[in-house]
């Protein structure tokens, strides 16, 4: 007998309502509804239109009801750090900010100066980024005290929609762990940091483990029997749970999309001065695991280039862009994707060309050459940072599993294998949605733990293997040395 489940997968560019069917140890998926989720500019700020997103989610669920589909469960996952201030009886105190809004630069510097980076890291084990929830909330406390006073709690994005759908306000641990307010060793909110930024502790929601059943779905006629489940509310938590790795600990993962999440799965957090200095992070994973990783820039740079090219009448289809890149000369120009200039939107092709010009390299003259520069530079960044992760975690990494949208980019996958000198297994692209669905299946007693989830993944989705090219080894050795000398 088949089990039907719904994943509501929210990304920085689009959201989707996905129907999953688990039957005979295999998972199949169907996108029922897709909608845009890009930031909305309001009075010079970047915000998320969560009211609009909620309407689109309900539209997707009603499409299922109209078809007579009766899922057993559903769950929402999203990116981390961003949140909604809300209270019982008032689902939206203020329209939430988007993480690329510039508001956190000052509170980030001020909080780190006043509290101290060692003390913050000792509490949370989380890498330092100005976009983290801690600094966004500090900005609210400092500049919007009336909104903080009016709020009853904050909920990160995925948890917020699970609340709207179930009426049960809970923070799921994988998403809570992205806030830099969560202590991974005590498995509790950090009251010390909340007090340090003046945040009322009443705003800290109750935290539940991954795979917690919250309650029945509300507000969609015909779907009343569905249970709302906090799977992993963080999209990367879902994706890592769904990595189709064979038993063993000799593998690393790369969740490849707008961001690149590169790391290893550990039984517990690693919190020490060397980890802080390397700006690695400890995030909660499914089943009590720790996702020990680096949050790196991902396909954001290429996405921004595509937007510029599309506006100017150039190539706008990712497959076409990759084909053009594959015809361009290899390893001609390199950038540091983690250079601060590439973090903000706006004229990304111009920024790439300027970086190459400033560093005395050939300036990419065509979209294909520029895209190849970006993709090969990302591969070299992965190689550099995986060495750091392996050393700090004590893991011997023999293969890399790439999941997410970037797993479909064969040029990037081959470049990554060449840069690392390791085997790369690419796929599935839909690991986040699959992980969401299978954690729900675990919560409903139909799949047993991580081992069961990964067994279903291996049976359901093929992967593609990429091996380092012996012929290109010398060129990539030289490229790694050039990359290490680039300014950032």
**Catalytic residue positions?**
235
- Identify the burial level of 100 via C-beta atoms within 10 angstroms of its C-beta, where 0-12 means exposed, 13-18 middle and 19 or more buried: middle
Label residues 366-400 b or e (16+ Cβ within 10 Å = b): ebbbbbbbbbbbbbbbbbbbbebbeebbebebebb
Under a CB-based contact definition with an 8 Å cutoff, are residues 160 and 50 in contact? Answer: yes
Label residues 320-355 b or e (16+ Cβ within 10 Å = b): ebbebbeebeebebbbbbbbeebeeeeebbebbbeb
Show the CA angle centred on residue 133, arms to residues 130 and 135, nearest 5°.
50
For residue 327, how far is the Cα from the chain centroid?
30
- Identify the burial level of 255 via C-beta atoms within 10 angstroms of its C-beta, where 0-12 means exposed, 13-18 middle and 19 or more buried: buried
């Amino acid at each position: 007998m088949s089990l039907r489940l719904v994943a509501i997968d929210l990304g920085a560019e689009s959201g989707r309502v996905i129907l999953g069917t688990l039957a005979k140890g295999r998972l199949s998926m169907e996108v029922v509804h897709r909608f845009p989720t890009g930031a909305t500019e309001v009075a010079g700020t970047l915000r998320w239109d969560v009211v609009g997103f909620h309407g689109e989610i309900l539209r997707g669920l009603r499409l299922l009801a109209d078809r007579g589909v009766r899922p057993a469960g559903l769950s929402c996952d999203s990116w981390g750090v961003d949140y909604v201030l809300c209270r019982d009886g008032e689902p939206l105190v203020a329209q939430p900010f988007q993480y690329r809004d510039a508001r956190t630069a000052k509170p980030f510097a001020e909080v780190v100066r006043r509290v101290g980076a060692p003390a913050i890291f000792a509490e949370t084990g989380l890498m330092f980024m100005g976009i983290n929830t801690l600094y966004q909330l500090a900005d609210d406390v400092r500049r919007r005290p009336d909104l903080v006073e009016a709020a009853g709690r904050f909920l990160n994005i995925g948890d917020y929609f699970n609340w709207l759908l179930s009426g049960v306000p809970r923070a799921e641990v994988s998403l809570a762990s992205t806030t830099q307010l969560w202590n991974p060793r005590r498995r509790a909110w950090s009251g010390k940091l909340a007090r340090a930024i003046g945040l009322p502790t009443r705003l800290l929601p109750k935290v539940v483990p991954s795979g917690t059943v919250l309650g029945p779905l509300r507000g969609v006629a015909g779907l009343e029997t569905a249970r709302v489940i906090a799977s992993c509310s963080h999209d990367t938590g879902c994706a890592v749970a769904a990595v189709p790795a064979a038993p063993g600990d000799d593998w690393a993962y790369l969740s490849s999309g707008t961001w690149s999440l590169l790391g290893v799965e550990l039984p517990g957090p690693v919190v020490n001065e060397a980890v802080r200095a390397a700006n690695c992070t400890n995030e909660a994973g499914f089943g009590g695991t720790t996702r020990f990783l680096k949050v790196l820039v991902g396909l954001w740079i290429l996405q921004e280039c595509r937007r510029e090219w599309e506006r100017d009448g150039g190539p706008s289809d990712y497959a076409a862009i990759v084909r053009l890149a594959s015809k361009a000369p290899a390893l001609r120009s390199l950038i540091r994707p983690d250079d601060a200039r590439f973090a903000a939107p706006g004229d990304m092709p111009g920024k790439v060309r300027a970086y190459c010009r400033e560093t005395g390299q050939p300036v990419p003259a065509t979209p294909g050459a520029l895209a190849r520069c970006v993709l090969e530079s990302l591969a070299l960044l992965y190689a550099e940072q995986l060495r750091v992760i392996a050393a700090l975690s004590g893991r011997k990494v023999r293969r890399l599993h790439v999941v997410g949208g970037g797993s479909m980019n064969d040029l990037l996958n081959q470049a990554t294998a060449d840069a690392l000198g390791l085997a790369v297994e690419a796929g599935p692209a839909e690991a986040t949605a699959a992980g969401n669905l299978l954690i729900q299946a675990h919560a409903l007693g139909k799949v047993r733990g991580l081992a069961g989830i990964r067994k279903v993944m291996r049976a359901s989705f093929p992967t593609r293997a990429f091996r380092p090219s012996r012929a290109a080894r010398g060129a990539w050795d030289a490229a790694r040395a050039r990359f290490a000398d680039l300014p950032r």
